[in-house]
Amino acid sequence: MYVKPLALPLHIQEAMALDRRVANTHLQKHAISKAAANLFSGYKGEESLIYHLNFLPEDDFLIFHYLRIPDGKGRFQLDFLLLSIYFFLIIEVKNIYDNVTFDEMGQVYRESAEKVEVFGNPVDQVNLQHRRLLSWLREMNLPAVPIEKIVVFSRDSTYLRNLTNNKIISDIVMHRHKILPKIDSFINRYRLARISEDQLMELSYRLLEEHNPEVYSGMEKFGMTTHDLIIGVICPGCRNVPMHWKSGKWLCLSCGLKSKTAHRPALADHSLLIGKSINNREAREFLKLNSNSITRKILQSEELDKIGVGSGMRYRLDIGKLLD
């Protein structure tokens, strides 16, 4: 069922790494934290849909989370794409709290006593995604397959208002508990197979090959250098930094927590923010160790792939290994 399962995209991991590695006193801290929080909030909204999607017939759909596909106009992103031999479905997810209003001007906003906050219209957004996916599919010379689209608000408490009772909005926009009935209506509508199983698999492989993940480039975006970053191993318990290496373990002098693996997230942060490989000296400095041999033992214990030999040896920082 899940061809591309739910996973926290690297650009969001990078935004979160930058946030935790920048001091609260830094001039860019507020902007960095807000950007990271917004990205993670979007991901949490997408994550909340998995419970509902798990009730779909396992053999009937191929599900992709987070696809970013290049076309002649740049790249377009899909939160979820569901493929079947009968129809395709684009799901755009929004994780917005309080109230969301669609008005007669095509505007979407959240209103409070203090202000009115305007958002991009998600119906326009998903319509554009539909247009771009359709154009992309035509280039593959596949049979025409109906493409449906919905906008799902992931918070059950979000109050949705359609001021003009626009039927298009009512049909497309919904809370997450409406997903399954909506998909059932598509299943009942499209009973004729439009594409073969082999063609569906060919399309799936092509989508995976074409997927081009977003690059966050947070250091560049906020004008940061490595000197702006907090270095050291962050305590997984109280978030104090740095932890100290003592008797084969990391020790937090603030809360007393001990760990043999607390360096792994730190090395992952280095990969996300500074470089995807590291040598002994760089690791020693970033982990705040004072011993070459201890640093080497820690790096070797992770069984990381090595690049080069001798004094030029570097270790490839595999996020998957480090955060597994």
Q: Tell me, which fold does domain 231-322 have in CATH?
A: Arc Repressor Mutant, subunit A (1.10.10)
Q: According to CATH, where is 1.10.10 located in the chain?
A: 231-322
Place of tokens 């006193």: 25
pLDDT of 114 above 90? no
pLDDT tens digit sequence for 265-290: 999 999 999 999 999 999 999 999 99
Q: What is residue 58's predicted lDDT score, i.e. its pLDDT?
A: 86
Nearest to 61 by CA among 152, 162, 179: 179
Phi and psi, residue 21, nearest 5°: -100, 5
pLDDT category of residue 113 using cuts at 50, 70 and 90 = confident
Please list the helix, strand and coil fractions of the chain in percent, rounded to the nearest 5, in that order: 40, 25, 40
pLDDT category of residue 234 using cuts at 50, 70 and 90 = very high
Angle among Cα 209, 212, 218 to the nearest 5 degrees reads: 155
Distance CA 209, CA 192 (A): 28
Distance CA 303, CA 319 (A): 13
Nearest to 29 by CA among 19, 15, 37: 19
Which of 83-97, 112-126, 181-195 has the weakest average pLDDT? 112-126
Q: What is residue 50's predicted lDDT score, i.e. its pLDDT?
A: 97
- Residue 243: C-alpha distances to residues 207, 269, 294 (Å): 43, 15, 15
Distance CA 2, CA 165 (A): 35
